[in-house]
Amino acid sequence: MTPRPDSDRPLEGRAEVLYLTLSGLFLGALVVTNLIANKFLTLDSGFKVFILSAGALPYPITFLATDLLSEIYGHRRANRVVWVGFLVSMFVLFALWLGSLFPAIAESPVSDEVYLKAFKNAWRVIAASMTAYLIAQLIDVKVFHFWKRFTKGKHLWLRNNGSTVVSQLVDSVLVVLVLFAGVQSGEWMLATILDLWLFKAIVALCDTPLFYAGTWAARRWTGWRDDAP
């Protein structure tokens, strides 16, 4: 019988490929989120106009990826990816700082002024993002496994949405407070927190079919079964 990927045995074959793919998707979405998070925009959904950071658009992918990693590979391996994401984000911050130390040549498509305007606030954005990210992602993994134990492995939709909705609220509150406390009014921050959280919660509900499809595909592709050791 093929062992489950969430067993303590070393990963190999398709289980390893899938783990690396989900981890890569998670890390890519996280880095892009940090790089574009400094732009705020409005998104008209047809029933509500949201005020969002551009980083909120790819960010829900990170929670879908960690939920799939948690479901397939267990909380220990999911938490490892979360911590690697933190280290990768610190490296991105270092690279942005390093790029600011050297003057641009006259032929450079991006001048020093444009570079600094785009990334001068990156340290604060990434600090806000990382504070929110670490706490929210670790909560997501913990709540996910709480619901999995509570429902005895049933009701995938409950642990997927229950964990994401809670962790996204924490994420939205922390990132807005770290970025805008003392800069924007409390009313503006509250409205932005609610918009960010509502948007992420709606996306989390909409990605439920993807979570089911991903779990089903993982079972078929890796060959693990719920009753496997």
DSSP state for residue 54 in the 8-state scheme: G
The model carries a pTM of 0.75
- Phi/psi at 43 (5° precision): -130, 115
Indicate the pLDDT class of residue 183, thresholds 50, 70 and 90: confident
The rounded percent of the chain whose pLDDT value lies above 70 is 79
Residue 227 placed within a domain: no
Residue 70 placed within a domain: yes
Q: What is the end-to-end Cα distance of the chain in Å, rounded?
A: 8
Residue 3 placed within a domain: no
Indicate the pLDDT class of residue 229, thresholds 50, 70 and 90: very low
pLDDT of residue 157: 66
Domain count, the chain: 1
Of the listed ranges 75-89, 120-134, 187-201, the one predicted with least confidence:
120-134
pLDDT digits (tens, 9 = 90+) for 10-53: 677 888 888 899 999 999 998 888 788 778 888 887 778 888 87
Q: What's the angle, vertex CA 205, arms to CA 56 and CA 42, rounded to 5?
A: 30
pLDDT digits (tens, 9 = 90+) for 121-151: 666 666 666 777 677 767 766 777 776 777 6
Q: Which domain holds residue 89?
A: 13-222
Among 17-26, 85-94, 126-135, 219-228, top mean pLDDT goes to 17-26
Q: Examine the pLDDT at 223 and tell me if it is beyond 70.
A: yes
**Mean of the per-residue pLDDT values of the chain:** 79
CATH number for the domain spanning 167: value is 1.10.1760
Indicate the pLDDT class of residue 222, thresholds 50, 70 and 90: confident
Residue 66 placed within a domain: yes
The rounded percent of the chain whose pLDDT value lies above 90 is 8
Residue 114 placed within a domain: yes
65: nearest Cα among 218, 223, 214:
214
Among 57-66, 104-113, 173-182, top mean pLDDT goes to 104-113
DSSP state for residue 181 in the 8-state scheme: T
Residue 58 placed within a domain: yes
Integer Cα distance of 167 and 103 in angstroms: 41
The three-class DSSP label of residue 112 is: helix
Residue 5 placed within a domain: no
pLDDT of residue 138: 72
Residue 108 placed within a domain: yes
